[in-house]
Amino acid sequence: MTYQYSFKDCLARAERITWRVEDLIGGDKTLDFSKPFMPESFARVVDLDFLSADEKRTLNQIRGNTYLAMFGLIEEFILPFVMDHAGPLIVKPMTAGDDYQARAYLEFAAEEAKHIHLFRRFREEFTNGFGTRCDVIGPPEAVGKVVLAKPALSVSLLVLMIEWMSQRHFMDSMKDDQTLDPQFKSLLLHHWMEEHQHAQLDALMTLAIAEKLDAAAINAGIDGFWELGTFFDEGLKQQTAFDLDALERATGRKLGDPERARFLEQQHQANRWTYLGSGLTHPRFIDVIEQIAPARRAEFEVAAPVFS
């Protein structure tokens, strides 16, 4: 199993990227609630014709808060997973190349810890400015317990999907969108910068894990990945209901039953694309599946439309 870059390459690129959370939010750097936070390709509010323009913008911002919460939750199980893989490299004498791998993993973990703080600070700013309670799924510890109970390959594939997903979010949907709040867009830009290295590093990690497994264990790892996908899809269904409740609280308007049903169906699908489909269909993710289990690539391609 091969890839076009090394742990040394990932470390070198990571060390060239430096930013602080304090540079992105706080003080005079505040969220502009007169603007949308999420691109329409993810928010999918335009077709909800029973909402006014102001209500659509409010829903878009609620979806922005959900994005902050989801990634904050995700980062909290990625961090211990990466540290688990860094640990064995640190406690034993290092062979040639282990030093770069260990340092790359530790840099990865440090950046994930920074991202947890980043999303937490933006959520604090959102809560202070939005003024209405927005519930989110969790808590992160409970989600992490479910995720980390799966085989290492299952978790690594989930993390890899998430990393490539975040790349698509910025490059395909946010980079050229001039209508979005500048601070929220800055969050996504700086997150993207570091996640690009993480996606490459996690591809190397996934291949390293798979190399030590036989075919049965690889298949079990992929099965575990799909189980995690189902787990998160159920969570997204619950989150969609929370978003609807938040919208009704924020606008003071109770939607009728037909409108609620349409909202829940359409917004659940929007969440599916944002947090599952946009990663499942990324060519770099599929490339890793092709390398570790070519016979199972087709099931990923068949499943993709479900999450589009």
pLDDT 10s digits, 12-22: 877 888 889 99
Residue 45 pLDDT level (bands cut at 50, 70, 90): very high
Residue 10 has pLDDT above 90, yes or no: no
Q: pLDDT digit string (tens) for 160-190? A: 999 999 888 877 767 778 899 999 999 988 8
Three-class SS state of 18: coil
Q: What domains are defined for the chain? A: 7-12+37-307 (1.10.620)
Q: Please give the model's pTM, rounded to 2 decimal places.
A: 0.93
Chain center to CA of 178:
22
pLDDT of residue 238: 99
Q: pLDDT digit string (tens) for 248-273? A: 999 999 999 999 999 999 999 999 99
Name the amino acid, one letter, at 21.
V
Mean pLDDT of 18-44: 93
pLDDT of residue 2: 56
Name the nearest CA neighbour of 163 among 206, 99, 119, 121: 206
Q: pLDDT digit string (tens) for 221-250? A: 999 999 999 999 999 999 999 999 999 999
Number of Cβ atoms within 10 Å of the Cβ of 215:
10
